Structure 1
């Protein structure tokens, strides 16, 4: 759900440089475009925060591990465990969202083509 400021931002979206720029977008479509872009931006920001936190905490843990004696090297367990979580976060935030968007765009294009050919044939 968009707040008042986000709603105003969506109303001012410049769609003249978007693919198919000759087409006009309804206000609802502009809001949808803005909401998706906002969601992707928030997902990326959350990923960046996660990565910076990971780097900071892992650096601190490596220093603690080395200062208390290199054996046993216990720091590898949180390094790999949290690293796997960070990798999954990246996968979901970046790759899977792109795959979803591309698949959705293809389906929309197919549906629009069906409607256009249906109108032309009528």
Structure 2
């Protein structure tokens, strides 16, 4: 059986004291590598722009809810006693997310209100 690998990532200059601690803890098993890959802001990638354009407000709501490991019923409670079925219908696009609900979602998930509104124009 293989021993699980510990992966520690530090960006920038590693302070000598921290390096000494890591060497004393991991000894010869410590392997340092320099990652010269260029970092790109995710919001600037083609993938993000295509995904964001395709995501409906309901998709966004579901993603935030799942990221918080919240059930539809739990989110409904936090929205002020909204039934689970209504949350489901909003996530699936069968029911629009009202401005009032979008404002509550923005507070719950600490994000801008616009994330839960369909502001796209079809011109």
Q: TM-score range by the shorter chain?
A: under 0.3
TM-score for both structures, normalised by structure 1: 0.22
TM-score for both structures, normalised by structure 2: 0.21
